[in-house]
Structure 1
Amino acid sequence: MVEKIITSVQNARIKELKKLFTRKGRKKAGQYILEGPHLVDMAIQAKADIDMIYYVPESSHAHIEKFKSMDDNLPFTQVTPEVAKSLSQTEQHQDIFAVATLPEAKTIDFDHLNDAVLILDQVQDPGNLGTIIRTADAFGYRDVILGKGTVDLFNDKVLRSMQGSHFAVNTYELDLDEAIPALKAHDYFIATTELNDQAHASNAFDLQSKGKWAIVLGNEGNGVSQLVQDMTDVSLYIPMVGSAESLNVAIAGAIVMYQFPPKS
């Protein structure tokens, strides 16, 4: 099959793709962009619905041959380095892009969630969200609830930070004032990472004895909202011996997920 070649940044298709840089544009088109050979490789392995792969032939030959061997039905379009640069949202573009269909929002089934669930309350920094999802994947937290106010999962910085882990983790966008009571009705014990007068040291608390649990991580500046705190069963803090007053939310999340690994 003869592949199409796009040589102008003014090409109508390229202009449409650049609209995917925004959340509004992604939702309207029902698509998002993955940049770089690793993310495209992960998308192919996950059997994501890929609309097109755009690449610079001079620099991407080996990767493209690999992708074609993985799935001989994948569609490809060649682009010039100038066009690739216009599609990239990084200073060092990687010359390979996949346009994939946004997955349909998952419907949560509280009866079949993992015994350990992660809840994010208005985590707004893309790098933090991506790192948290990647860490959840690494430590076996397969179900992550994204509360309202949390940054878009398909933001380009989030995608780069996740490194493909969104293909392995179930994410649900829910109102926490509905999700947390539903979890509690299904016998989940709710713990929040929040320093207050009643908080317990995380390394001295036996969360796993509760059977099923959910850990809440809060906003970078304001922590866990009062509304959510009022619905939780316990507050946990991470003991520190240095002079730092707090930890980055992604670091704190990594510590508590490591401390409390899922049982299955």
Structure 2
Amino acid sequence: MTSEATVHISSRDNALVKELRRLSQDSTAYRKLGRVWLEGDHLCRAALSRGWKPSLAVFSESFWPEVPVEWTRAAIKNIVIAEALLPEISGLESPARMGFVLDLPGAPALAPGAPSVILDRVQDAGNVGSILRSAAAFGFRQVLALKGTAALWSPKVLRAGMGAHFGLQLLEGLEPVALEALAVPIIVTSSHQGALIQQQVLPDPCAWALGHEGQGVGAELAARAGLAVRIGQPGGEESLNVAAAAAICLHASAIGRPR
């Protein structure tokens, strides 16, 4: 990559540094800026493998001389940033030596017949990211996040998702009425109500509804559900973590499908 195609930044007052600082530290900044900051090679590789084209690739000064050529050609423009600025743009205890800036596309239209996951006010970023990983793993390509759910493209959700975002259709900020467009049955889970999941014939495709960590699925969403199932807990615990419950439910739906 020629120097003409590379920008070197050493000032913390640089506009891009200020923007990356916002993206790495403000969970909803991406909504205003229309782009996200992917820190570290794992997320960057995941984005490239799904066909995403970064607008910027950012490398530390120490890493730049050894950057593989495929990285230098990945983005529209390369940025080399002074080592001292890495903590400014990082959300990690040990800042990564590289990252991508991705421009986010507009929100996709809701696909009525798609296998889906509905998130109803799931607030913990780690839980949301873990659920996205399970959704991608088990073929639920559409995620519908109702208002009150953690920001889907926030840095913490991105890290917990481990690249799942790039293979999913993500819609967020929805009101429950938007679910009227779904043409697949909605299934809700409970620790105490409904038949055991292993005793049910699960509809496929379907939409699994997963609720708030403490309150569960809200009444309005529960009223829209066509089926309620229960995950048995012979060990006697009162409830499961919502991300663990999601993995069990999505796997139960997926095991009958052709691989």
Normalized against structure 1, the TM-score is what? 0.87
Q: Secondary structure at the match of 2:62?
A: helix
Q: CA deviation at 1:57?
A: 3.7
Per-residue deviation, residues 180-230 of structure 1 (Å, max 9, x unmatched): 3332xx3x2221012344x111111111xx343211111111110111112
Aligned partner of 2:196 among 192, 201, 204: 201
Q: CA deviation at 1:64?
A: 4.0
Q: CA deviation at 1:250?
A: 0.6
**What letter corresponds to residue 6 of structure 1 in structure 2?**
I
Aligned partner of 2:241 among 224, 239, 248: 248
Q: Write the distance in 1 (CA, Å) between the matches of 2:116 and 2:257.
A: 11
Q: CA deviation at 1:177?
A: 2.5
Q: Write the distance in 2 (CA, Å) between the matches of 1:195 and 1:226.
A: 16
Aligned partner of 2:32 among 28, 34, 38: 28
Give 1:1-264 correspondences, 5 Å limit: 1-2=2-3, 3-20=6-23, 21-59=25-63, 62-68=66-72, 71=74, 74-110=76-112, 113-114=113-114, 116-173=115-172, 175-183=174-182, 186=183, 188-197=184-193, 199-207=194-202, 210-261=203-254, 263=257
Contact 2:204–2:253 under 8 Å retained in 1: no
**What letter corresponds to residue 35 of structure 1 in structure 2?**
E
Q: Which runs of 5+ in 2 are unaligned?
A: none
Q: CA deviation at 1:129?
A: 0.8
Q: Which runs of 5+ in 1 are unaligned?
A: none
Q: Write the distance in 1 (CA, Å) between the matches of 2:61 and 2:12.
A: 17
Per-residue deviation, residues 45-71 of structure 1 (Å, max 9, x unmatched): 3333422111114246555433235x4
Contact 2:152–2:172 under 8 Å retained in 1: no
Q: Write the distance in 1 (CA, Å) between the matches of 2:173 and 2:11.
A: 41
Q: Write the distance in 2 (CA, Å) between the matches of 1:60 and 1:137.
A: 33
Distance 1:213 1:55, change over 3 A: same
**What letter corresponds to residue 190 of structure 1 in structure 2?**
I
Contact 2:60–2:81 under 8 Å retained in 1: yes
Contact 1:146–1:174 under 8 Å retained in 2: yes
Q: Write the distance in 1 (CA, Å) between the matches of 2:48 and 2:26.
A: 23
Per-residue deviation, residues 48-98 of structure 1 (Å, max 9, x unmatched): 3422111114246555433235x4x63111112221121101102111121
Q: CA deviation at 1:9?
A: 2.3
Q: Write the distance in 1 (CA, Å) between the matches of 2:233 and 2:70.
A: 47
Q: How many residue pairs get matched?
A: 253
Identity %: 30
Distance 1:172 1:28, change over 3 A: closer
Q: Write the distance in 2 (CA, Å) between the matches of 1:38 and 1:212.
A: 31
Q: Write the distance in 1 (CA, Å) between the matches of 2:41 and 2:66.
A: 10
